[in-house]
Amino acid sequence: MAEMVTGPNASYSLGAAADGPAPATKRVIPAWGFWPTLGFSVLIGAVNGMASMLAVFIALDVALLSDPDLNWTDYIFSEFGSEFNAVIVFSIIFSGAVSLLLIGALIKARHGASIKEYLALKPLPFRTIGQLILLTVALALLSGLIDAAFRESPGGATGSVFQGVWPVFAWLAAVGMAPFFEEALFRGFMFRGFSGTRYGTALAVGLPAAWWGLLHVQYGGFDQAVIISLGIVLGIVRWKTGSLWGPITVHAVWNAIAMIQVSFG
């Protein structure tokens, strides 16, 4: 009888060595449960909001230093003038970076989990990336057709807040930081924690999508419905590809399309 050799990840028979090694057991990534994930997600959202406010005050202080006679109320409530747009862009980048650091710290606090594994930062084939780009373009066209058919006046254009800002920073905020942070939270941190519950993938896809949509309170009901629907698509992409880069790609392309519409529409 062949002896059994055990290791940390698998056990196999020496007698079967001629047939090649047995497949390695799939690594179980230690994740926070439902309630810790829910609580930490609220914490991340709160920290993100406070970091956004801090960024606004930092920008306001800088503006006051350069112009002591500046009326700060006019500066803040300038109907989204170019100065305030720059503040918002800075706020998105700053608060996103702070929140990503917090997500990383919470993952590291769950002993045995790496950030790359927890968030499923697994590279995707170029073919898959191309398919996701085409999918996003098709969804954007469908959304535009539905919008034109059922709404008399267009809603607030996503990305209009970035007008009047240096393009490189506007694109960094809208197509870089915003998709990466939001997907790291909703389809990364939340997805991992919720997928381990009794409701599994359905909860991991549905709850973050609803949460994500309701956070966009600046939009009307139609736009929120579109965002929630997009959130479901992003969750399914995360599930099917097994990688966070899937929803990040879709989210970034969606925002890029909105930016192009604002710039050239």
Residue 209, pLDDT above cutoff 80: yes
Q: Kindly tell me if the per-residue pLDDT of 262 is higher than 90.
A: no
Structure tokens at 250: 């879709």
What is the residue whose two structure tokens read 């599930």? 239
Amino acid in position 251: H
**pLDDT at residue 83 greater than cutoff 80:** no
% of the chain residues with pLDDT over 90: 54
Task: Give the burial class of 250: count Cβ atoms within 10 A of its Cβ; 0-12 exposed, 13-18 middle, 19 or more buried.
Answer: buried
With bands split at pLDDT 50, 70 and 90, how would you rate the model's confidence at 228? very high
114-142: pLDDT as tens digits:
999 999 999 999 999 999 999 999 999 99
Per-residue pLDDT tens digits for 154-166: 555 445 555 555 6
124 vs 264 pLDDT, higher one:
124
Contact 251, 185 (CB under 8 A): no
| HEC readout, 57-86 | HHHHHHHHHHCCCCCHHHHHCCCCCHHHHH
